[in-house]
Structure formats: structure tokens, C-alpha cells
Amino acid sequence: MHHLDRPRGRIAYDLYGAENTGTLVVCVPGMFDHRASFRFVGTALAGAGYRVAAMDLRGHGDSDATFDDHTNRAAATDAVALAEELGGEDVVMVGNSMGGAAVAIAARERPDLVAGVALLAPFLRQPGPSLFVRIALRLMLVRPWGPRVLTRYYDGLNTGRTPEGHREHLDRVLRMLRPADRYRAVYDTVYAPHEEVLEAVESRVGAVVVVGERDPDWKDPRAEAEWAASVVRGSVVMVPECGHYPQSQRPDVVVPALEALIGEVVSRA
């Protein structure tokens, strides 16, 4: 584990692959998730000769819980800072869920740095739940039961194939949520004023949107994937037997899609 110094705290990240060799891939998870959700992707891409940095969001995993901004734009600035810290050029950024919006923002703001993006089940626009649903969610997330409710909810988003080491990862998520200060940071992330990415974002080289066919976050996962792809001008990969976490549920599909994107970036660098 490594730490990146940022104003008001540190961001934790894992490095896969040899330092200072190969294209840099920065991975950003979604809210109430841990950077270890990219463990299979990081290992596979490192084996293919690339460098992978999988980071935690603010207040998540082993990042500090001292931040006061938990928006997707803040996560985008952290991803950019991490890429710069590691000396990346023509960086590929991979984001899951909220992290998908973060890497799209990073690509829009820093086209000189970010060459390609992969959006895994991205939330580029926010759903509009009813008042009843919003009230129910707030009641469910109140401590002391909130950490277990969120962990069960996370488990339920893994519809389809169960990732290898899933029980250990659920334990990891629950441990992350138990400390009061860290849970407050995660809670603030859930209810932060996240930026919607509705206007066209054109990566310098390319983009791919990867969505599970059984993702319970959308009534029509394919329609959401195609809409997101229209925003980032990318291709679509629909993943069978997969819910909201293709990077851990179906790395056998995600890794080849990422290798194809990285190969395009390398060939056009």
C-alpha cells in the first residue's frame, strides 16, 4: 500500500507491475467500495507489462477520513494527481460506478494527460429517486445498522457470478465502514452533490463502456450503456452473468477490453 499526499489528507493506492515501466492505468472504484475490487484487473494487466495504480476514494479503504469534499470531481482531481505523481503519460483511466464519472471528468479536464478511459457501470447522470425512497435510504444508513445495511446492499449489486474471494471482500468493506469517522466520510460521499457528465467528452484516443447485463442499478442496463457511450464517444461491451462490478465479477471480459484500449493508446502515442 502507498499513499498520495493531497490537501487535507492522503489517498491510499496499490501498485501492480514494475515501477516506471509500461503504460500507466489508474483505477477508481465507486462509493462504499475498496480499491481491492480491482485486484484481478491489476494483477492481469501487470502480467501483461502495464503499470496499474488502484486508488481508494476519500475516506474509503485506507485513505484518510479528513477530507471535506467527497464529490466525483474531487475524486477526478485525486486520480489526476496520482497519475502525475507516478509520472504517467498517455494515461488510461478506469472508473467503476461513481468512479466512472470521475475519470470522465478527468479526461475532459486533462486531455493532455488522459489518453483513454474505460467506464465500468458508470453513473454519469444521477437517478431521481422519489421522496419516499430518499427518506427510506437515509433511515437505512443511520448508525449503528448503517454499515451492515450498506455491506448487504453491496453484496446484492453482485448479481450474476460471485467474484473469487467475495466473502473476504465483503468483510473488507464492512471493516472499512465500522469506524465512525470513516462511515461519516462514506455517508457524505453517498449524499455529495455529484456532477453529472451530460455533454460530450471525447478522449484523445478512445473510450469503452462496460456494463453488466444484470446490473440492478438500471431498468435497462444496455440502454444506459449505450447512452454513456454516446457521451464519451466510445464502444459498448455488455457483460453476461454480471451485475454492477464487472472488474471483480468478470475480469475475464474486462481485462481483454482494457488491453484493447491500452493497445490503441500505445499505438497512437
What is each CA distance from 216 to 2, 211, 240, in whole angstroms?
33, 11, 13
**pLDDT tens for each residue of 183-218:** 999 999 998 999 999 988 888 889 999 999 999 999
CATH architecture of 2-267: 3-Layer(aba) Sandwich (3.40)
- Domain ranges within the chain, ordered by starting residue: 2-267
Low-confidence ranges of the chain (pLDDT < 70): 128-137
**pTM, entire model:** 0.95
Q: What is the pLDDT of residue 116?
A: 97
Q: pLDDT for 76-96, tens place per residue?
A: 999 999 999 999 999 999 999
Confidence at residue 69, expressed as pLDDT on a 0 to 100 scale: 98
Q: What pLDDT sits at residue 128? A: 59
